Structure 1
Amino acid sequence: MLPAVWDRALTELGRSEGGADTLALLVRDQDTRRLLLLRAVLDAAQGADAAICPPAEKSRLRDDWALLSEADRAGRADRARGPAGGVAASSARARLLYPLTGPWALTCLRGLDPVERPPAPQDARELRRAVAHFSALAATAAARAGIPFTAELTAHDGVLHLPSLGTLHTATAGDTAVRAVHARNRLTLRRPDAPDVTVFLEHGCGAWSGALSWTSAHALPGLVPGAPPMPLDDLAPYRSVRDDPRHRALSAPTTLDDPERKRWLQAWSGTAAALRSGGERRVAEAQALLRCLVPLEMPPDAEGPGESDGGCSATRRDAFGALLCSTPPSPVAFAATLVHELQHAKLAALSDLTTLHQAGSEARYFAPWRPDPRPFDGLLQGAYAHLGLADFFQRRALTADPAHRESAWAQHARYRAQVGATLPALVGSPHLTVRGRRFVDSMAAAYEDMSEHPAPRGHTARAQAYLKAARMLWTRRQTPSTPRLNE
């Protein structure tokens, strides 16, 4: 990559921004990694011991890969013919690049790893389920590409999930063979001793059927007029974060009922305007990076009337483009969550492209937003997310109506104070690479530029008092108490 491209990308991203070319650079790299990951699953399965992946499953995977390849070729041919074929093309490729294929593929690779000892019975069953999901992914991509096909699928424990389409529920609790036949935008699912289920593909996300055994995938309208629908994925089997130690405190994924889905729609409907109040580029950033929303349960201690009280959210490095979030209480809270989590997504994607630092994993740094010490990488991630929030709320405070201005200034003052408390450790670190130093220096410049429009003194004073209290409590927790003589 040309030095000028790197310089521009590091400077833009360090300022918590990102022009169209810079964001496209991150997206292309992540998409390439996703496609390579899919191929790695096929190769790992073909090279696995027969006790881990039997010959019949290997043959089925080769058929799945052939169907995936045909769908991708059809998509590329449609794109070459012009805009008329672009919808099918983008839908087919989008299935391969869908964020939650990342966690699924890594689940497969962990189970297929020949270095590991033979899996326990439960792990072997989970691996069979994961490998069989390849067939569902291939069938969905082919259906979205408009390819006629017949494929053999498997419903596990009474459930067959087809990504972006929906879920079929079978009458039996065990594994059930399902034959999928697709022709002319109509998918017929055939099971032994059960009526056929016919589903009709909808644009972008979802598939309609009159059968009670079918649940369609859900989507919210596009973020802005003309944008594609945004999947609200409460069905996918690989949306859990239970194996990620960084997300131990995160609520579990949930399935939404109609009232909860309406609350999501209400918050989402005003999110573009709320994002725009914090800078037009925030809308463009969300359009470029966000590909699906995964609803989480509301944390048990989520109480309070505030716009941002009580919820939880996260991004996953293995699921680029996905936002995991409990039901947002308002458009402003939803917009702030997007800013926060997309900062994490940008920095994770940049870190995949280049090494920013060579610090170890020792947790020893003070971070005002956490009660525990943080490793250097965690400190960098947190400071970067809070820098984006400080920028968002400052811009909102400068443009918002008086009813919301004071709240925005208070948020800005606190987030900027938090970033200011961590920047010395980041800027002065000997562990930064050349590119990492350029990135952190750009963060520091953005922090300094915010002083051109300072928050009112009262908000600044309260933010500093909060910061002082947080540091005192953190220091107390890290200082061992002196034992008494009689202990």
Structure 2
Amino acid sequence: MTRSLLPFTQFVVKVHSRCDLACDHCYVYEHADTSWRARPKVIGDEVLAKAAERIGAHAAGHGLTVVRVVLHGGEPLLAGPDRLRRAAGEFRAALPPGCALDLRIHTNGVLLSPAFCELFDREGIKVGISLDGDRAANDRHRRFADGRSSHPQVLRAVGLLRRPEYRHLYAGLLCTVDVENDPVAVHDALAALEPPAVDFLLPHATWDQPPKRPAGHGPTPYADWLLAVYDRWEETGRPFAVRTFESVHRTRHGLSSLTESLGLEPAALVVLETDGSFEQADSLKTAYDGAPATGLDVFAHSLDEVARHPGMAARQLGLDGLSATCRACPVVRSCGGGLYAHRYRSEGGGGGFDNPSVFCGDLMTLINGIADRGEPLPGPGVPAQAGEPAVPAGLTDRQLDELARGHGGTDTVRALVRSQLALTRAMLAAVRGTSGLRSSAAWDLLAELDSAAPAGLDAVLGHPYARAWAARRLAGDPGAGLGPLAELAAAAAVRAGRGDQVAVPVRAGALHLPTLGRLAVGTGAGEALVTGRTGGGFTVRTPDGETVTVAGGPADPRWQPVRRIRPAGGWTLALEDTDPQRDSHQWPVADRLDEAELLAWSGGLREAAELLDRDLPAYAQGLRAGLTTVTPLRPGPPGRDVSAAARQAFGAVGIARPATAPVLALLLAHEFQHVKLGAVLDLMDLYDQADTTLYDAPWRPDPRPVEGLLQGTYAHLAVTAFWGTRTAIYDGLPGVAAEHARAQFALWRRYTAEAVERLAGSGSLTAAGLRFADGMRETVAPWLAVPLPRAAEQAAREAREARRPAAAG
């Protein structure tokens, strides 16, 4: 099979090949590779110009929306301001329209001055500085050739970047780990400099030249050192970002790594030396003399040719590129075999790079150590306790392809349900951690129910608006108090049929129990005591001292239960009009439904379910498996159907009840597409998270970010399928309804097809995202072949030309 070409998105450009320090751990000058000796000190004009041309052509050819160029060395400031200004101008001018330049410089800081900072401000160059900690730590390795300390000069450089006028240039610090340095002292010294980010880097080593492991430090000193830093980082409230720690968090939950040294993502970086030669990652200089060489150069070879080099390919094979030992390892998806250079061994059965990392034991200890500490999910969230299952990777290749085509059968959507339940658990634990709730009655009861009555707890935690509240709390919403934690515990205890007593806050005169309902208690504030009954039901002692019994039969009229509808075939939907957290959609929610409106909803949902089963069976299966809650919304403007899906409320959709069952079926299918895709995006990156480009969405007059375009395209697969089915039903028949269906099908198939190609060509999609786009394209292709009357095509063409937002219904 021919390997598809992965474009480069990061370019390390060596603008100077010498350095003004003599750091004894430097991979350029102190390790196996000696190629620097024969290279020009400074990159030439012709090399810069040709490099810019190559990068611009590569970006245009692959539709890239952003490229990162890192000016590097040696020490790049030795190149001087004129050379750096020229480099910035060349690279920026060469990029195609719509492609942004992320320009950075990595320096030891010794020469950084206000003049350089002014230049970097004008040219938009962010600055990263190497610093190994306090003076004692930094002076172990980062000295001048005559032995003088570089620490004062580096602190002066960081001080410049901390000035208000230059703060926006401050990209962060890079710290090489030395286990003989005090990890807490290093952390605190770096934190005192207020960096936005710190990269803690393992020292470069191979099996031939292993890292130092001083006596008395244990078998995994590097893991122990990093875990000590991790503990201090957590204790002090994570004062800066750490890519290593965050990458462990992400990869343990099926997401991408943020660094090449962890995870299985393919490498997308190439190095340009001062003489114009292309090389692989600099870290390979630690393996053997000439290890990073490709034999290719900027004058004779395109970047596509470089991307096909066997050495580049070897770093893009993911799991298949690892040794048998690594492939069998339980932490391989987080570790990824470690940095490629660290696997090198010159002789023996594992000659070359077909080995685990020389830091193998350290990496396993680090990953498991972070897991045992209960680490957060990317964004908000941490597992509740050590040993709790993390969010599963969740999807097989077959299931991902099924979802990519717009569908998703029962087992596929249930995999999403499981992953979302794990995510909600993790987010609740994060609420606990960020709120200082080391112990509380509600939390302790939840933990007990997790063992004693897990089904009841899962039913409550699977409620869409449990996660919605947790997300609000973690986002710092001032209105998201801790009361819902007690509400969840009380609801779970009631479902478990236990006699637990839980103090639950009364808000706006009502007691709320998620998934169960609400009780009007006649006071605006205070606490009510909820006590479950072993025979079913529960009692509530109100803040006024009254006892209200809510049993399985007729209950107090002040009790408003969540009403459930069984549309067809055992499918049960909660018609949620009591939970205050349901106000998570972009449209206002409806008040408690009266009996007439409840009857109308019940009939509409039953008819819609029958239509979905008959006309859209590929979508209906997933709806039955994953849609648990419909939240009535207030009616929209006249003539417009209103519906929504909240990103943090998996399993729920909000809809203002439309006039007809077919439109209700369409809105259910449309919004559940957003629900499914949101769950997929929680499991994997389909696009570049750093992409800030706005893309033309054919159905909207305003451009959209890449996720918005992806969400709209995916939702409109269901919309197009609906109108395609209606067109088939009306095949050969006259009438307004038939003409409307044909015109809508013509319009939406064209919109969706255009959007799929725009996504595929954006340059923002990951490998998984491109695979997803291929699946959507596979679904769209047969629709484009369906012949339609000229009038339908003309109506669609006029709508497209008018660029008016077309309502899905």
TM-score range, shorter chain: 0.7 to 0.9
The residue that corresponds to 1:23 in the other structure is: 413
Which stretch shifts more, 273-282 or 158-167? Answer: 273-282
Secondary structure of the corresponding residue to residue 215 of structure 1: strand
**Equivalent in the alignment of 1:292:** 629
Instruction: State the partner residue of 1:329.
Output: 659
Distance 2:623 2:543 in 1: 44
**Would you say the 8 A contact 1:151–1:180 is kept in 2?**
yes
How far the C-alpha of 1:197 sits from its partner, in A, is 1.0
Other-structure match for 2:564: 219
Counterpart of 2:470 (choices 99, 102, 105) is 105
Q: Do the aligned partners of 2:643 and 2:655 also contact (CA within 8 Å) in 1? A: yes
Q: Which amino acid in structure 2 is aligned with residue 263 of structure 1?
A: A
Q: Does 1:256 align with 2:593?
A: yes
Task: Give the Cα–Cα distance (whole angstroms) in 1 for the partners of residues 411 and 500 of structure 2.
Answer: 38
CA shift for structure 1 position 326: 0.8
1:180 partner SS: strand
* SS in structure 1 of the partner of residue 580 of structure 2: coil
Contact preservation (8 Å) 1:165, 1:216: yes
Query: Alpha carbons of 1:141 and 1:400: their partners in 2 closer, same or farther (altered >3 Å)?
Result: farther
Task: Give the conservation status (yes or no) of the 8 Å contact 2:405–2:776.
Answer: yes
Q: Secondary structure of the residue that 1:333 maps to in structure 2?
A: helix
Provide Cα deviations, 1:415-460, integer angstroms capped at 9, x if missing partner: 1121133233212121211111111122122211223433333212
* Amino acid corresponding to residue 503 of structure 2 in structure 1: E
Q: Which residue of 2 is the match for residue 72 of structure 1?
A: 450
Match of 2:747 in 1: 414
Secondary structure of the corresponding residue to residue 557 of structure 2: coil
Given candidates 638, 652, 671, the residue that maps to 1:302 is: 638
What SS does the aligned partner of 2:515 have?
coil
TM-superposed deviation, 1:192: 5.0
1:375, 1:110 → 2: CA distance? 21
**What are the superposed Cα offsets for residues 269-297 of structure 1, whole Å, 9 maximum, x if unpaired?**
20112112332222211111101111111
1:50-96: CA deviation from partner (whole Å, max 9, x where unpaired): xxxxxxxx65xx322232233333345xxxxxxxxxxxx3x542111
1:338 counterpart (655, 663, 668) = 668
Q: Secondary structure at the match of 2:408?
A: coil
2:610 and 2:744 mapped to 1: Cα distance? Answer: 18
Give the distance between the partners of 1:23 and 1:259, measured in 2 at CA.
33
Provide closer, same or farther for how the CA distance between residues 108 and 426 of structure 1 changes in structure 2, counting only shifts above 3 A. closer
Counting only pairs closer than 5 Å after superposition, residues 39-54 of structure 1 correspond to structure 2 as 39-46=429-436
1:178: which partner in 2? 529
For 2:796, which of 451, 460, 463 is the aligned residue? Answer: 463
Conservation of the 8 A alpha-carbon contact between 1:360 and 1:375: no
Alignment correspondent of 2:681 = 351
The aligned counterpart of 2:617 is 280
| 1:347-371 C-alpha deviation (Å, 9 max, x unpaired) | 1111111111116554632223222
CA distance in 2, matches of 1:110, 1:451: 43
Q: Higher helix share goes to which structure?
A: 1
AA aligned to 1:108 is R
The answer to whether the 8 A contact 2:501-2:529 is kept is: no
Give distance in 1, aligned partners of 2:757 and 2:749: 14
SS of the residue 2:570 aligns to:
coil
Cα shift at 1:215: 1.8
Q: Is the 8 A contact 2:446 2:489 kept in 1?
A: yes
Look at both structures and tell me which one has the larger radius of gyration over its CA atoms: 2
Q: Name the CA distance, whole Å, in 1 between partners of 2:681 and 2:544.
A: 52
Task: Note if contact 2:494-2:531 (Cα within 8 Å) is conserved in structure 1.
Answer: no
What is the distance in 1 between the residues matched to 2:491 and 2:654? 23
8 Å Cα contact 1:364-1:374 kept in structure 2: yes
Amino acid at match of 1:426: L
Match of 2:504 among 130, 153, 169: 153
Task: Return the letter of the residue paired with 2:539.
Answer: T
Unpaired segments ≥5 residues, structure 1? 48-57, 77-88, 113-122, 202-207, 304-309, 475-487
CA contact (8 A) 1:148 1:182 kept: yes
Q: Which amino acid aligns with 1:142?
A: A
| 1:292-441 superposed matches below 5 A | 292-299=629-636, 301-303=637-639, 310-358=640-688, 360=690, 362=692, 364-399=694-729, 405-441=738-774
Q: Do the aligned residues in 2 keep the contact of 1:71 with 1:147 (CA within 8 Å)?
A: no
Change (3 A) 1:262 1:422: same
- TM-fit CA distance, 1:209: 4.5
**Matches of 1:412 and 1:264 in 2, distance apart?**
27
For residues 196 and 145 of structure 1, the distance between their equivalents in structure 2, rounded to whole angstroms, comes to: 21
8 Å CA contact 2:510, 2:522 repeated in 1: no
Task: Give the distance between the partners of 1:140 and 1:288, measured in 2 at CA.
Answer: 23
After TM superposition, the structure 1 = structure 2 runs for residues 128-147 of structure 1, keeping only pairs within 5 Å, are: 130-147=481-498
- Once the two structures are TM-superposed, the CA of residue 330 in structure 1 deviates from its matched residue by 1.7
Q: Does residue 33 of the first structure (1) align with residue 377 of the second (2)?
A: no
The change in CA–CA distance for 1:360 and 1:369 in structure 2 (over 3 A counts) is: farther
Q: Contact (CA 8 Å) 1:233, 1:294: kept in 2 or not?
A: yes
Cα pair 2:530 2:538 within 8 Å, conserved: no
On the 8 A contact 1:277/1:396 being kept in 2, the answer is: no
2:62 is matched with none
Partner Cα distance (1:186, 1:344) in 2: 36
Residues 180 and 433 of structure 1, relative CA distance in 2, 3 Å threshold: same
Q: Distance in 2 between matches of 1:209 and 1:192?
A: 23
1:118 corresponds in structure 2 to none
Q: Is the 8 A contact 1:170 1:176 kept in 2?
A: no
Task: Output aligned runs, 1:110-125, within 5 Å.
Answer: 110-111=475-476, 123=478
Offset from partner CA, 1:297-338 (integer Å, 9 cap, x none): 112x223xxxxxx22111111111110111132211111011
Residue matched to 1:80: none
Measure the CA separation in 1 of the matches of 2:786 and 2:487.
53
Q: Is the 8 A contact 2:567 2:602 kept in 1?
A: no
Aligned counterpart, 1:453 = 786
- Highest RCO, 1 vs 2 (Cα 8 Å, sep ≥ 6): 1
* Whole-angstrom CA distance in 2 between matches of 1:399 and 1:30: 37
Mapped to 1, the partners of 2:395 and 2:512 lie a distance apart of: 41
* Counterpart secondary structure, 1:167: strand
- 1:179 shift after superposition: 4.4
> Partners of 1:432 and 1:340 in 2: how far apart?
23
Distance 1:371 1:451 in 2: 24
Instruction: Please tell me whether residue 269 in structure 1 is matched to residue 269 in structure 2.
Output: no
Change (3 A) 1:226 1:177: closer
Q: Which amino acid aligns with 1:15?
A: R
In the superposition, the TM-score normalised over structure 1's length comes to 0.78
Name the CA shift for 1:464/1:347 in 2 (closer, same or farther; >3 Å).
Answer: same
Contact 1:255 1:295 in 2 (8 A): no
CA distance, structure 1, for counterparts of residue 588 and residue 417 of structure 2: 28
Partner SS for 2:482: helix
Cα distance in 1 between the residues matched to 2:755 and 2:395? 28
1:102 to partner: Cα distance: 0.9
Task: Name structure 2 gaps, 5 residues minimum.
Answer: 1-253, 255-318, 321-393
Percent of aligned pairs with the same residue? 33
Residue 462 of structure 1 aligns to a residue whose secondary structure is helix
Q: Contact (CA 8 Å) 1:365, 1:375: kept in 2 or not?
A: yes
* Deviation sequence 1:94-129 (CA, Å, 0-9, x none): 1111100011112333449xxxxxxxxxx4xx45xx
Partners of 2:447 and 2:419 in 1: CA distance: 20
In the alignment, does 2:595 pair up with 1:230? no
SS at match of 2:581: coil
